Amino acid sequence: MAGPAKTAETEPSGTKTDDTNQEAEEELAIPEKFPPAEEASLLGESNDKKSEANALFTSANYENAITKYEEAASVCPHYLDYELAVLKSNIAACHLKLEQWKEAIKAATDSIDGLDRLEKAEAVQKEREEKQQKKEAEEDGVEEEIVSSGAQKSAPAVEKETAAEAARRKRHEDVLRIRAKALMRRARARSELGGWSNLSGAEEDYKVLSTMTNLSHADRKIVQTQLRTLPPRTKAAQEKEMAEMWGKLKDLGNGILKPFGLSTENFKMVKDEKTGGYSMNFSQNGPGQ
């Protein structure tokens, strides 16, 4: 690792942006993979365990289903983010059934994080392919086709979707489907667990879900309902936690000031209407005395 660092230091300052882009791509670099045969074997074993877990979930045996899903995840190659995201989302569903809200949030978040990594890696790969195609076209001396005025007015030819494009589209649809499930599960767990932070997070999840076009009618109805009912709950939780926090700070301040015969009642924050800033006024006898 030391070699590349020294090289970067000796390059002109103008290459800073290129270095940053290179570092970003290295972070999304495809991890080392198993040989194809070994990968297929591990994935097959993982899918077998997943099928067992699905059967356990269907029979409402959620604790054992979690164990099987986790076994499936441990066997699955670590770089298969989509397959792992499906397993994590299923684990979240089990925790919801058991009303284990914190565990459900973690599993759903792991699923969403995996899908984020996958989409970033695929975006980088797509950009690389497009750059390579452009480079090859330039090297081959491909010139832009001169289109006649009559041809411009005619309907454009419909390009046939390639196998790679079809596979990429199918994967994108699958990612959106699992993302919607994971977001629904995390949002519900956050809403059930409560508290200012969780309720705010649930609102954000439901807002994202409201922009997705692949939700079922039932899920969309849940999203719309939650976006109406959550804001007042979030505000109430915020006010409660803020009041508790200020109460604790006041108790702490009184403990510090007590040896000096003072308390927080001796201090008052006064807003300057001209500047919008605040100043602290001191009163020996406390406010209103």
pLDDT in tens, 46-63: 999 999 999 999 999 999
pLDDT at site 11 = 42
Segment 206-211 long-range contacts (CB within 8 Å, at least 24 positions apart): 206/230, 208/183, 209/180, 209/183, 209/184
Low-confidence ranges of the chain (pLDDT < 50): 1-17, 28, 146, 288-289
pLDDT at site 276 = 72
pLDDT at site 164 = 77
Residue type, 118: L
| Token couple for 243 | 């009041």
Instruction: Measure the CA–CA gap between 209 and 108, rounded to whole angstroms.
Output: 14
pLDDT at site 100 = 98
Task: Report phi then psi at 161, rounded to 5.
Answer: -70, 130
pLDDT tens, position by position, 117-136: 999 988 888 788 778 877 77
